[in-house]
Structure 1
Amino acid sequence: MKNVSVLDFLTQLAANNSKEWMDANRTWYEEVKQAHLDNVAEILAGLSRYQPQFSDLRPKDCVFRQNRDIRFSANKLPYKTNMAAYFAIGGKKSVGPGYYLHLQPGASFVGGGIYMPDAETLKKIRQEIDYSGKELESILTAPQFRDFFGDMEGEKLKTSPRDYDKDHPFIGYLKYKSFIVSRPISDGDIQSGKTVVLALAAFENMRPFFNFLERAVSAPEDEAFLL
């Protein structure tokens, strides 16, 4: 990464979240944005070595706009106080799983999975868990994976989902409405230029989880058992 501190910029942006401040610091923002894009390009290159599907993506397919959509929000601050990238086959708007990088002073992390999928996608994931729950359990409980990420995260139903018995052997997984794992990154590691290395290490550990979700989402409905 270039000698540009993303975190320093975001700290100042959080304290001065206005168009006037951004206009006065546009050159600084452009330098930080380019440094972020450079990191994303390196991560894409690393991912493509083992998952060639990522080779067609460009950095701009993965990063998010700094401007907030304030049309329907009570919070009228114009800019996000983080920089992030979502690496998904097909780009950041894909309904499939992805790897995620979040940069924010004191709250940076790497993660991935699927956050709040639509009803059809959620149905496919639950169908795959129904057929192959043992495989998902093996992925999530593998010592290396669990030591790195901890437990799977995500909002859960309080009762069993429709069409699944409360005594289903994998009802704990079937109750999830999001399927996410994550690991924090310290400010020090980011400031010392370790963002790309740490992100790629996390995404490599996450690959079996990603592949499980990708297979679930890609399978024709009611045919996941054929895979």
Structure 2
Amino acid sequence: MIDAKTMGFLADSGRDPTREWLAAHKRDLEDAKADLKQFASRLIHCVASIDGRVSSANPDLTNRFARVLGAQLARGVISLTIRTSPDSRAAATYFVHIEPGASYSGGGARSPATKFSRLLRQQMMTDTGRWRELVEGTVFRTFFHHGLSDGTSLATSGFGKNHDAMDSLNLRAFGACRPLPDQLLQSTNAVSEIVRAFAAARPLIDFINRATTR
């Protein structure tokens, strides 16, 4: 879980704080940094327990996350990306985006390079049956109500039009994003719910990475 004070700090720092404001709230920043580092460490450990690839694909991830945490806190937006393959061509990952009122978690490729998008579309057309199973299946629809996106414009309700497999060919973003309410992030269920979203997104991640690493 993330402390309510940390979420409050993120909300305040997301309003373009001045250097003076950050200096005056240095203690709050350090407390938030410690809280989020602990949260990320637990999350990474739990993800590694359900996906054995994570540990080898993300060496020293907790410390690397900690090194950029200060800058992220100053902007009021926290982003954690967890790879499933050390191959740089593997375009899809697990991800968590923490921003008061706009947080989400999931997996996929939110903004793949053009060449990777082209490879993925080719794979969609080659293996249409499997692609339909992924984006039109019960698990995907249960967890990712808004279809595929880059996470920046999640609707409040309803399924996205791109839940039809062939509509996906026109997309530029292939991220399966599940909204995370602030109340959930501050609860003891936060990590387990994020991991559930990761597990639901894993088939999508594997499909994308097979396409972009072939």
- After TM superposition, the score normalised by the length of structure 1 is 0.75
Structure 2 counterpart of 1:74: none
User: Partner amino acid for 2:167?
Assistant: G
The one-letter code matched in structure 1 to 2:12 is: Q
Match of 2:97 among 78, 99, 102: 102
Higher helix share: 2
Instruction: Give matches, 1:26-175, under 5 Å.
Output: 26-56=26-56, 57=58, 58-61=61-64, 65-67=69-71, 79-89=74-84, 96-154=91-149, 171-175=166-170
- Contact 1:115–1:178 (CA<8 Å) still a contact in 2? yes
Between the two structures, name the one with larger relative contact order (CA 8 Å, sep ≥ 6). 2
CA distance in 1, matches of 2:94, 2:104: 11
Alignment map for 1:140-219 (pairs within 5 Å): 140-154=135-149, 171-219=166-214
Q: Deviations over 1:40-82 (max 9, x none)?
A: 22222222223222113222445755537xxxxxxxxx94222
Residue 67 of structure 1: SS of its match in structure 2? helix
Across the two proteins, how many residue pairs are aligned to each other?
A: 196
Structure 1: which 5+ residue stretches go unaligned? 69-77, 156-168, 220-227
Q: What is the alpha-carbon distance in structure 2 between the residues aligned to residue 106 and residue 119 of structure 1?
A: 30
SS in 1 for 2:81: strand
- Partners in 2 of 1:25 and 1:201 — Cα distance? 35
Gaps of 5+ in 2: 151-163
**C-alpha distance 216-61 of structure 1, shift in aligned 2 (>3 A):** farther
CA contact (8 A) 1:96 1:114 kept: yes
Cα gap change, 1:65 to 1:111, in 2 (>3 Å): same
Q: Percent of pairs identical after alignment?
A: 20
Distance 1:79 1:206 in 2: 30
Question: Aligned with 2:76: secondary structure?
Answer: coil
The one-letter code of the counterpart of 1:59 is: T
State the alpha-carbon separation in 2 of the partners of residues 178 and 200 from structure 1: 22
Q: Summarize the Cα distance change of 1:17–1:102 in structure 2 as closer, same or farther, 3 Å threshold.
A: same
Residue pair 2:109, 2:173 contacting (<8 A) in 1 also: yes
Q: Normalised by the size of structure 2, how large is the TM-score?
A: 0.79
Residues 105-141 of structure 1, C-alpha deviations (whole Å, 9 max, x = no match)? 2211113211221122112111211211210110111
Write the deviation string for residues 195-222 of structure 1: whole angstroms up to 9, x where unpaired: 2111101101111111111211111xxx
